[in-house]
Amino acid sequence: MVLKAIVAYGENRVIGKDNDLIWHLPDDLKHFKRHTAGKTIIMGRKTWDSLGGRPLPKRRHIVISRQADFKAEGCESVQSLEAALALVKDEADAFIVGGAQIYELALPYLDILEITVVHATLEGHAYFPDWDKSPFECITSLHHPADENHEYSFTFETWKRKA
């Protein structure tokens, strides 16, 4: 199983504010959909809550919560990242989709990171961990300029763990 993370963060690694995204970038949302449709996505409970407590279409949802009695329609719930990984061990790949604590827990296990670097420095409450890039190499980088639909420019980067 190939474990991937997908995230959009600012130049200061900010990923959210008040349990929500802090930018609206339609092409990044399409990027997320293209990568995760038909896949399993693993997230923390706060990220699940930010979705309005309802699943995204055409994806299997696994929610990590410390609350042993957490249950929500449209998702499977577990109490640890290790339990989530055990549920997907026979799948070709799965995606970590947030939030900050789950990304931090998953970093040692990740094979690929799909990162959208938003070229802005904004304030927020949630930040992607300060990660060591040395075990990874950036294998693709594609810049997207700001335009009438995208307030900020951004770059899609794919980082793959070195063999």
**Domain residue limits at 11:** 2-161
Domain with residue 30: its CATH number is 3.40.430.10
Q: What whole-number distance in Å separates Cα of residue 23 and Cα of residue 9?
A: 10
Is pLDDT above 90 for 110? yes
Name which of 104, 1, 94 is nearest 42 in CA terms: 94
Is pLDDT above 90 for 116? yes
Cα atoms in the 13 Å half-sphere on the side-chain side of 145: 2
Q: What whole-number distance in Å separates Cα of residue 49 and Cα of residue 133?
A: 30
Domain count, the chain: 1
pLDDT digit string, tens, across residues 59-107: 999 999 999 999 999 999 999 999 999 999 999 999 999 999 999 999 9
- Yes or no: say if 2 and 95 are a contact pair by the CB < 8 Å rule: no
Contacts of 50 (CB under 8 A, 6+ apart): 16, 19, 20
